[in-house]
Each structure stands twice: as structure tokens, then as C-alpha cells.
């Protein structure tokens, strides 16, 4: 059922107090239904969790059924679980409807753990009933809750303090909530009035301060304004433009192919203040037009405002895998005629346009203070990454600015230190004295593995914060009996790369 979401501050405060009092948190829910049921929920199966709750009618169990699993409950049980808000208050928020003695959920409110460079925390996130609660396909105006992509982007957000932040295509407001951890002001835009109502409700529910919401498409609601940060999990999913294929507001921007992401990339510079940073997720196509990352490079070049760019492709799917991913995402069941029809439509669209693959990744863009870009990095990093990357990206940008301002003489005079998460691996053929391969491995950040030669390995090993880089290179040259000038010319560019990627640290 659809009810109007009402983000009334007093009702939100009462709900917050009641959820706190009931211990309605992620860890407590996992303990209530167990690891196996928790894994089943992640696969869209509610039965094991409901079975584990059994006949329990305590506040945590009632809220778990009602607000997490989307099951109707007795109104009297809900009122006992929410003593301040009551069943009437939950209806007043637009999160439930009363039918006689029964309260039927109209939305979900789920606890969400967060962890980033600013520390650990937890929110409650309200959103529309999902396929777990509905038991079928989603309506096209569905307001999505917290998914893997939104958590990824929240973890990517820079951790340094910021002025005003813009969240484009806010959905339930998760990115705006994350932005308020570092910014005094956040503006959230969306084409969905319902999404904006959920954003306001979630801001009130989590007591993060005001989030200003504006209705409209992409940057239209903020034309003429500038922001220190722009964050967007845009509706980037590539959807066939043919009759009968559902167009979900939360994931479909209404444009063909990857044109929506292209529009965001080429247009965001206009709303960035000098030194402002934009971060977004996106898809880009491979095919007749060539390499997907080169497509993104072209979008950046098309920006009227010159931009620094750091683009990381994390995954590449073939057309069939991509189609299966998003048809299932809409709640269509594999093996049905409707599933086959939609898959066929997706594959026909890709074939007609000569698309052979679809990349997914992270896009970081920055408006240089002086107007001249210095960073143009387009890379593939498909290795597993543990934890949020926001602090790493923040440090990498700061390191880039410092290292780019140094010529080789200044760099050689700098004292560097090896990051604490870096280790070295040497691979030997049995019986050989010298290693065939030497690798530097990063425990944090993008968990990079970098092959190095003996000279660079020796230099990195000697970077203990004591002697300048030039002195160390001279010592390595003497030890290896090679020309010091030639070794400097070889090593310094690679040292710059190691500083940017976090293997080596600058002083201070």
C-alpha cells in the first residue's frame, strides 16, 4: 500500500526514542534470528527469520516483523513496542496503515551500521517495502533502501570537513546523511517527491540536522549555485528504451545507454566551487566506440569546466550478466516467462548498439583552484577491497597536491616513510639466491600489489623517516654499483606513484 510519508519532527523524535529503547539495532536483530537466517534475508528469503522469531511478542521481535521484514502485526503489540509513538503515531508518519486490530506496514525502517574514517555508527533508514516484504516485483516509483552500491558510495565520501554538499538523486537520503557528518549544510535533489519525503524523515529520525530537499532533475534545482562537495549515486542503470520494459525511478534516468552518467560527468563542474570534489558511481559501455574508460575520459574532456579526474573501474560484465543483474533487481523471478522476455529485450538493445561489455566503477572529479587540471588517472582495480575508502581517497588527493608541487630536486630533499600497512613479498625459484619477483603489498586502501625491482625495493625499505630521498638513492646506487643520476631519473617517477597510492608517506 502507498501512504504519504509525513516527516513530522515530533513523531520522528518519538520513534527514535522508542527504537533506541527497544534495542532495535543490527547486531541485536542478527542475534535474534541467527546467522543462517540473516544470510537468507540477504538473498530475499524471510522464512528462516520469521521462524526464529516464532511466537515472540517482545518489542524487538515485533519491530523486526513489522519494520524490517514488512509483516503485519497486532496494533496492540506495536503500541507496546513503541510506547511514545504508538500505533497511531506510526500511521501518522505514513509508515503503516491500520486495518481493524491489525497494523499493516506501508514502509520499512531498518537499522544500518556505518563505518568510515570518522568512526562507527548506526542509522535507521526508512524506505519503501522491498521484494522481501512485497513477495514480487517492485513498483516503478519504488524508493530504494540501503543497498550495496549506496553503502559503497557512502564509504567513498571524503572524510575531511567541507562546506555545502549536494546530493544528486538522493533516494532515501543515505548519501546526504553521510555528508552531514563532515558538512554543516546539505542539499538533496530528486525527481521523486516521495524520495525527498523519505530523506527528510531519515534526517529527522537520525537527528543529523536539517537536510534541504529540492525537487527536480540532476542539477536543475541548484542552477547557479556552487558546492564544496557533490555526491551522487545516479540512476545509471542501462535500460532498453522499448515498450514493456519497466523504468524504475531509483535506477533509470530515462536516457539511452550510458548517456545519463555522461551528462552527470560533463555537467557537474558547473556546480563545483574551486577545489570542490564530486564523487559518483556509474556504468560505461564497451563496444564499437572502444574502451569504456576512454569513454569516461571523453566525458570529462567535454566538461566546460576543466576537471581533475580519478576514475576507477571495479568490475566489467558481459551483456547477459548485466541483464540478469538488473532484471533480478526489479524483483522478476528467474525461470518465468516475464524474466525471459526482459532478458531478451536487454540483449537485443546491447546487440543493436554494438555493446560488448559494461564497466562499473567510481568517479572522482575535482575543480582545480587555478583552473588547470593536474590529475588524469583512469585505472582498473578489480581486487577485493576491505572497508571504506573515504579516508584513503582524502589522503591520496592531499598527497597528490603536495607531490605535484615538487620538482625532482625538492622531492629528493624530502624525507619519506613506509606506510604501516605495507609489506614485501619475495618469490624465489627453489635453489636460487635472488628472487624472481619482488612485490609491495598494501593492506589498506585499494589493497594494491606493485611489482618492484631490487633498486626500488631497497629504496622503499630504507624510507624510515630519517634520511632524505636523494641521500638514500645515492646509497642504493653505490651499493648496486650503478650511476646515481640515472637511478634518480628511474626511481623518482615511481616514488611519486607510491606516494599517491599510499605506500610511502610525506612528512607532516
Can you state the angle between helices 484-501 and 469-480, rounded to 10 degrees?
130
Q: How confident is the model at residue 302 (pLDDT cuts 50, 70, 90)?
A: very high
Q: Which pairing describes strands 186-190 and 165-168: parallel, antiparallel, or unpaired?
A: parallel
Lowest mean pLDDT among 244-248, 298-302, 442-446: 244-248
- Closest among 63, 60, 59, 35 to 49, alpha carbons compared: 35
In this model, does residue 48 exceed pLDDT 80? yes
Q: Are 174 and 186 in contact (CB under 8 A)?
A: no
376: enclosing H helix or E strand = strand 376-380
Grid cell of 435 as nine digits: 628472487
Check: CB of residue 133 under 8 Å from CB of residue 65: no
Tell me the C-alpha distance between 323 and 314, whole Å: 18
**pLDDT for res 15:** 98
Q: What residue segments make up the domains of the chain, in order of their start?
A: 9-112, 145-150+157-233, 236-254+262-381, 403-505
What average pLDDT does range 267-282 have in this prediction? Answer: 97
Q: Which residues contact 136 (CB under 8 A, 6 or more apart)?
A: 331
Mean predicted confidence (pLDDT) in 24-33: 97
Query: Which CATH class for the 403-505 domain?
Result: alpha beta
Q: Per-residue DSSP letters for 79-126?
A: HHHSTTTHHHHHHHTTSEEEETTEEEESSEEEEEEEEETTEEEEEEEE
Confidence of residue 187 (pLDDT cuts 50, 70, 90): very high
Higher-pLDDT residue of 371 and 33 is: 33
**Cβ(453)–Cβ(438) under 8 Å?**
yes
Provide mean pLDDT across the span 317-336. 92
* For range 243-248, the mean pLDDT: 90
CA distance 274 to 366: 8
Task: State residue 372 phi and psi, 5-degree precision.
Answer: -110, 115
pLDDT at residue 124 above 70?
yes
Q: Which burial class, exposed, middle or buried, applies to 89 when counting CB atoms under 10 A from its CB (0-12, 13-18, 19+)?
A: buried
**Which comes out higher in pLDDT, residue 365 or 253?**
365
Q: In what helix (H) or strand (E) does residue 215 lie, and over which residues does it extend?
A: strand 212-215
Does residue 386 have a pLDDT over 60? yes
Closest CA to 178 of 115, 236, 268: 115
* pLDDT, position 379: 98
Helix residue ranges, H only, 182-283: 193-205, 259-267
- Residue 325 φ then ψ, to 5°: -55, -50
Predicted local confidence at residue 434, as pLDDT = 82
Query: Domain spanning 145-150+157-233 has what CATH number?
Result: 3.40.50.150
Helices 9-21 and 193-205: crossing angle in degrees, nearest 10, is 50
Cell of 300: 570529462
How many Cβ atoms from other residues are within 10 Å of residue 479's Cβ? 11
Instruction: Reply yes or no on whether the pLDDT at 349 is more than 80.
Output: yes
Helix spans in 405-464 (H): 408-412, 454-462
Span 60-64, average pLDDT: 98
- C-beta separation of 110 from 125 below 8 A: yes
Burial 166-195 (b: 16+ CB within 10 A, else e): bbbbbbbbbbbbbbbbbbebbbbbbbbebb
Q: Is the pLDDT of residue 358 over 70?
A: yes
Mean pLDDT rounded to a whole number for the chain: 95
Long-range contacts, 433-440 (Cβ 8 Å, 24+): 440/498, 440/503
Burial 252-290 (b: 16+ CB within 10 A, else e): bbebebbebbbbbbbbbbbbbbeebbbbbbbbbbbbeee
Tell me the three cell numbers of residue 271. 556546480
pLDDT one-digit tens code per residue, 77-118: 999 999 999 999 999 999 999 999 999 999 999 999 988 777
Interhelix angle 390-404/484-501, nearest 10 degrees? 150
For 69, 101, 137, 410, the CA distances from 343, given in Å and listed in that order, are 29, 43, 15, 57
What percent of the chain stands above pLDDT 90? 86
Q: What does the buried/exposed string (b/e) look like for 42-77 if buried means 16 or more CB atoms within 10 Å of the residue's CB?
A: eeeebebbeebbeeeeebbbbbbbbbbbbbebebeb
Q: What is the pLDDT of residue 330?
A: 84
pLDDT at 190: 96
pLDDT for 1 equals 57
Average pLDDT estimate for 124-151: 91
Q: Which residues pair with 311 in a beta bridge?
A: 363, 378
Q: Which three three-digit cell numbers place residue 475? A: 646509497
- Whether residue 260 contacts residue 342, with contact meaning beta carbons closer than 8 Å, is answered with no
The answer for residues whose C-beta is within 8 angstroms of residue 70's C-beta and 6 or more apart is 105, 108, 129, 130, 132, 133, 134
- CB distance 473 to 426 below 8 Å: no
The C-alpha atoms of residue 363 and residue 299 are separated, in whole angstroms, by 11
Q: Residue 397 is placed in which grid cell?
A: 588527493
Amino acid at each position: 500500500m502507498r501512504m504519504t510519508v509525513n516527516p513530522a519532527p515530533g513523531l520522528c523524535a518519538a520513534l527514535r526514542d522508542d527504537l533506541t529503547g527497544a534495542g532495535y539495532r543490527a547486531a541485536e536483530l542478527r542475534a535474534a534470528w541467527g546467522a543462517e537466517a540473516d544470510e537468507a534475508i540477504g538473498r530475499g528469503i524471510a522464512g528462516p527469520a520469521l521462524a526464529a522469531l516464532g511466537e515472540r511478542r517482545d518489542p524487538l521481535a515485533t519491530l523486526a516483523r513489522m519494520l524490517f521484514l514488512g509483516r503485519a502485526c497486532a496494533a496492540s503489540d506495536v503500541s507496546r513496542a513503541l510506547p511514545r509513538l504508538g500505533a497511531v503515531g506510526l500511521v501518522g508518519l505514513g509508515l503503516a496503515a491500520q486495518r481493524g486490530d491489525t497494523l499493516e506496514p506501508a514502509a520499512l525502517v531498518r537499522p544500518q551500521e556505518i563505518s568510515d574514517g570518522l568512526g562507527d555508527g548506526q542509522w535507521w533508514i526508512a524506505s519503501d517495502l522491498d521484494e522481501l516484504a512485497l513477495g514480487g516485483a517492485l513498483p516503478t516509483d519504488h524508493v530504494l533502501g540501503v543497498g550495496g552500491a549506496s553503502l559503497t558510495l557512502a564509504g567513498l565520501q571524503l572524510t575531511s570537513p567541507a562546506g555545502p554538499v549536494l546530493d544528486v538523486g538522493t533516494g532515501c537520503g543515505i548519501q546526504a546523511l553521510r555528508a552531514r557528518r563532515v558538512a554543516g549544510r546539505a542539499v538533496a535533489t530528486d525527481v521523486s517527491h516521495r524520495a525527498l519525503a523519505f530523506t527528510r524523515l531519515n534526517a529527522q529520525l537520525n537527528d543529523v540536522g536539517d537536510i534541504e530537499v529540492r525537487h527536480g532533475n540532476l542539477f536543475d534545482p541548484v542552477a547557479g549555485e556552487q558546492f564544496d562537495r557533490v555526491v551522487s549515486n545516479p540512476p545509471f542503470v542501462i535500460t532498453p528504451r522499448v515498450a514493456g520494459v519497466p523504468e524504475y525511478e531509483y535506477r533509470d534516468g530515462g536516457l539511452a545507454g550510458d548517456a545519463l552518467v555522461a551528462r552527470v560527468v560533463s555537467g557537474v563542474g558547473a556546480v563545483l566551487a574551486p577545489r570542490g570534489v564530486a564523487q559518483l558511481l556509474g556504468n560505461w559501455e564497451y563496444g564499437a566506440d572502444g574502451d569504456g574508460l576512454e569513454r569516461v575520459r571523453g566525458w570529462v574532456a567535454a566538461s566546460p569546466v576543466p576537471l581533475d579526474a580519478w576514475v576507477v573501474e571495479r568490475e566489467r560484465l558481459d551483456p547477459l550478466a548485466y541483464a540478469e543483474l538488473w532484471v533480478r533487481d526489479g524483483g522478476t523471478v528467474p525461470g518465468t516467462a516475464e524474466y525471459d522476455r526482459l532478458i531478451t529485450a536487454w540483449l537485443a538493445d546491447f546487440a543493436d548498439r554494438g555493446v560488448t561489455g559494461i564497466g562499473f566503477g567510481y568517479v572522482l572529479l575535482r575543480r582545480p583552484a587555478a583552473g588547470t587540471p593536474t590529475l588524469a588517472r583512469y585505472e582498473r582495480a578489480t581486487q577485493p577491497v576491505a572497508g571504506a575508502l573515504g579516508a584513503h581517497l582524502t589522503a591520496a588527493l592531499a598527497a597528490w597536491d603536495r607531490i605535484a608541487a615538487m620538482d625532482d630536486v625538492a622531492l629528493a630533499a624530502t624525507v619519506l616513510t613506509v606506510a604501516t600497512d605495507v609489506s614485501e613479498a619475495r618469490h624465489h625459484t627453489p635453489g636460487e639466491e635472488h628472487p624472481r619477483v619482488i612485490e609491495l603489498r598494501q593492506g589498506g586502501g585499494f589493497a594494491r600489489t606493485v611489482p618492484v625491482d631490487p633498486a626500488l625495493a631497497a629504496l622503499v625499505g630504507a624510507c624510515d623517516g630519517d634520511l632524505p630521498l636523494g641521500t638514500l638513492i645515492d646509497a642504493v646506487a653505490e651499493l648496486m654499483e650503478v650511476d646515481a643520476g640515472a637511478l634518480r631519473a628511474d626511481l623518482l617517477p615511481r616514488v611519486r606513484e607510491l606516494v599517491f597510492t599510499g605506500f610511502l608517506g610525506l612528512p607532516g
